[in-house]
Amino acid sequence: MSQTDVLSLPLAASTPMSPDVLQCPHEYNARLRREAPVYRCPHTGIVFVSDYDTVCKVAKDHQTFSNRFGQAMRADTEIDPRLIEAQKEGYPPVDTMLTQDPPLHRRYRGMVNEAFTARRVATLEPAIERVCEELIERFADAGRCEFVEHFAERVPMTVIADQLGVPLTDYELFKRWSDAFVAQLSRLATPDEEVEAVKLIVQFQKYFAAKIEERRADPKDDIISDIVHARFENERPLDIPEMLSILQQLLVAGNETTTHCIAEGILLLIDNPDQHALLKANPDLVTNFTEEVLRLATPTANMWRVATADTEINGVAVQKGGMVQIRFSSADRDEAVFPQPDRLDVTRPNVRSHIAFGHGVHMCIGASLARGELNVAFRVLIEKLDNFTLDCPREELHYAPNALLRGLSNLPIRFTRRAA
């Protein structure tokens, strides 16, 4: 069923997690905001929240809408015995930052906050610039590349590998592990894909458990060492499952969302040559462009909450234990906040009002790092390359199917070098 078909039917004829909606959610989200900004899906019972003000209200109310949704994200060990066997080889999942509430959330987060401050990120920017320039030089003379694979994925993965203190020679492993975590988040994986994801996650656990033991004996200036030698509530060290949970979240958050924004940014330049011209004429607008890309891409498109008690959202009842999905990507295109919300405007005055990094106590810990990477990547790309065009028919572009994260799986492009 096409997107047009879905939009011509009653809302109940489809779901916000239908494959066609996941590929292109914006028209469906606009319809939700108009017709049912708080919408209970009759097929799943999930309540979807789509308008800016209500998304912010729910995101801030962690007492009523808990982030402890970890079990809903994990493979169901009661259904497939293969999952039980695969998970026995690894460590049990633990709720730490993403799937934890205050005060524990704040204590876990405080152990790694220092690595992601704006001050720390500023010291990384020269290294990020070198990474971007080196990657561009690998494909610039060819005049074409698969941009996701050769640039958008590699910039943030290189940076987070360096911060974690692990060798970039293991890049392919990190990417496979990150993809496995994302597959679990998707809630769309087949049973075979779930089993494969668990096996890869166990590989991740064994790899990083070994790194943890190395840092116990020989600390380095990296995040793994910081976590190993931190004290929870100034009393006890973290146990290995807690450390692995934090490292898992940093690996995914440190690369997936930035990858998606870099790729989406170039696609937006292809679609908006007038805005590209403005950026070339006024490079100071790159930081505003970054914020517009974050708003329009909102790579963490949606996030789960679990009701801690019987409650309601704008008159829609939610039972205790009920699942709520807050749709950040819809909120960031809310006409009531952002005029002409689907338009790229690198001079948009209120662009920093977006909530692409979330809202409330669970706002993304890596926001400063992501902004730093995006600002540098876009500046270097615009300085070095020009005349971006697609190198495939538009219909061959695909977004990875996922209930929470949204980003291009591929982006073949052509370009020219800019004169020095």
Asked if residue 3 has pLDDT above 60, the reply is: no
Q: How many angstroms separate the CA atoms of 183 and 142, rounded?
A: 33
Range 220-225 contact pairs with CB under 8 angstroms and sequence separation of 24 or more: 220/165, 221/165, 222/163, 222/164, 222/165, 223/112, 223/115, 223/163, 223/164, 223/165, 223/247, 223/250, 224/164, 224/165, 224/166, 225/165
Residue 356: count other Cβ atoms within 10 Å of its Cβ: 24
Cα dihedral 279/282/286/289 (nearest 10): -50
- Alpha helix (H) residue ranges in 25-170: 26-35, 52-60, 70-73, 81-88, 104-110, 118-139, 147, 154-164
Q: Look at residue 40 and tell me whether its pLDDT is greater than 70.
A: yes
Check whether the bond before 92 is cis (ω within 30° of 0). no
Question: How confident is residue 147, by pLDDT bands cut at 50, 70 and 90?
Answer: very high
| pLDDT score at 16 | 86
**Mean pLDDT across the chain:** 90
Residue from 401, 378, 185 nearest 294 by CA? 378
Tokens of 119: 């001050």
Spatial separation of the C-alpha atoms in residues 386 and 384, rounded to whole Å? 7
Query: What integer pLDDT is reported at residue 154 of this predicted model?
Result: 96
DSSP string, 58-98: HHH-TTTEES--HHHHS--TTT-HHHHHHHHTS------ST
pLDDT tens-digit readout, 68-84: 887 655 544 456 788 88
| Structure confidence at residue 87 (pLDDT) | 85
Residue 240 predicted with pLDDT over 80: yes
- The whole-number pLDDT of residue 385 equals 98
The pLDDT tens digits for 312-365 are: 999 999 999 999 999 999 999 999 999 999 999 999 999 999 999 999 888 888
Name residue 411's amino acid: L
Highest mean pLDDT among 88-102, 148-162, 189-203: 148-162
Cα maximum dimension of the chain: 63
DSSP state letter for 218: S
3-state DSSP call for residue 298?
A: coil
Domain architecture of the chain: domains with CATH: 67-300+356-417 (1.10.630.10)
Q: What's the whole-model pTM score?
A: 0.92
For residue 186, pLDDT over 90 is answered with no
Q: Are 148 and 366 in contact (CB under 8 A)?
A: no
Per-residue pLDDT band at 196 (split at 50, 70, 90): very high
pLDDT at site 76: 45
Identity of the highest mean pLDDT range in 8-17, 170-179, 392-401? 392-401
Looking at residue 75, its pLDDT comes to: 42
C-beta separation of 416 from 143 below 8 A: yes
Count other C-beta atoms under 10 Å from residue 240's C-beta.
16
